[in-house]
Amino acid sequence: MGGARELVLISGAFAVCAAAAAGLVYLAPRRGWLAAPNARSFHNQPKPTLGGLGFALPILGYLGYKGLEVPEAAGLAFAAAAVALTGLIDDLRDLSQGLRLAVQFLAAGLVLWLLPPGWSPWILALAAFLLVWQVNLFNFMDGIDGLAAGACLFFCLGVQLLSGGAPGWLGDLLWVIVGAALGFLCFNWPPAKIMMGDLGSTLLGLLLGASVLLLVAQDVLPLFCCLILLTGLWFDASYTLCVRIVTGQAFTQAHRSHLYQKVAARRGHLWSTSAFLAFCLLWLLPLAALARAQPAYGWLCQLAALLPLAIAAPLLRAGRPDEGTVLDR
């Protein structure tokens, strides 16, 4: 881990993403590519969007190039391109929820095609559902400056650290995502100059979910090790959705009741994103390392990873109606 090839992948993706983000910061206001404040956002002024293009260019470029010789990379390239294109169109003009889900399930099917044979139909059906949920929950968690890109960076670096460097094209893809995330954070760290939009959030959600399946299928890391690294994302989104359903709220409507949004409403973007990343580094990463070293106790490590969030979520009334919001702090 950390050789010349990795540095080239990171620096190349960083340069492409940072250049794209810088260009969009300049161009988006002039073209009207702005994310207006809505019921989910924590900004009181329109912000340049389509920053996910900075992720799409190096990621799809790498997958397209690698796909010329590796069929699995080609399959993931098609799946990622379909989700990214749908997100781009949705950013520019709203698409129906049914169409978005249809494309996401087709993309999930392509990802499952990459897996080795022998998986039962029930497991594949569950994996498809969870992969589509991962695409959407990552989109839900892209609500404050720096959090989604920071979580993506943490996952990719965590995988590389715990695996000693993931092998083959998948490992290289994770390094490309690392470089792109660093480049994007130069413009998305609080206070953000640009948002990634659905183009970026759905693309990254698919790639992180696909990476988990491929890492487990290739026996690179145990399942619980990967899930622990993503706990801060999937628990918040899943818990909040369940609370909204159980309490009879219109759960399909935009809202600001995720746990991270409750924290942001009290302390602002910078503190909330920093606290989230500190939780990932100081709590989730050691537990993921323990799950890697002792796979038989991975489920116990996962429960420990959930414990602080399971305490904080009801205390801060995650999933409950808003009680006031602090914007752009």
pLDDT per position as a tens digit, 107-132: 999 999 999 888 899 999 999 999 99
What is the reported pTM?
Answer: 0.94
Residue 258 per-residue DSSP state: S
- Interaxial angle between packed helices 71-92 and 97-113, expressed in degrees from 0 to 180 and rounded to the nearest 10: 170
3-state helix, strand, coil in the chain (%, to 5): 70, 0, 25
Map residue 329 onto helix, strand or coil: coil
Contact 185, 149 (CB under 8 A): yes
What is the per-residue DSSP string for 271-320?
HHHHHHHHHIIIIIHHHHHHHHH-GGGHHHHHHHHHHHHHHHHHHTTTTS
What is the structure's pLDDT at 325?
A: 45
Low-confidence ranges of the chain (pLDDT < 50): 324-329
CB 115 within 8 Å of CB 214:
yes
Q: What is the pLDDT of residue 329?
A: 47
- Token pair of 255 as six digits: 């809202």
Q: State both tokens at 84.
A: 């990214």
pLDDT of residue 39: 66
Task: Spell out the residues 6+ positions from residue 191 whose beta carbon is closer than 8 angstroms to its own.
Answer: 145, 269, 270, 328
pLDDT of res. 3 = 82
Per the structure block, which two tokens stand in for 225?
Answer: 């090790």
